[in-house]
Amino acid sequence: MIITWLYYLLVAYVVVLMVWNLIRSRKWQEEVLYVVVLLPFVLRLLRLK
């Protein structure tokens, strides 16, 4: 149980970092890349596969 919570905390931390980089990004190509990479992490946080 505790490992599951640690896993979700780690995923949430990675999502926050990626969103921060997405906001700071200036190139649209990088923004698209961040969204594509971010999607599986957000789905994992929502407990969807």
Domain ranges in the chain?
Answer: 2-45
Task: Return the exposure string of 4-25: e unless at least 16 CB atoms fall within 10 Å of the residue's CB, then b.
Answer: eeeeeeeeeeeeeebeeebeee
pLDDT, average across residues 7-31 = 95
Nearest to 10 by CA among 36, 41, 49: 41
Confidence of residue 30 (pLDDT cuts 50, 70, 90): very high
Confidence of residue 9 (pLDDT cuts 50, 70, 90): very high
Q: pTM value?
A: 0.84
Inform me whether the pLDDT recorded for 31 exceeds 90.
yes
Stated as kind and residue range, the H or E segment containing 24 is helix 2-24
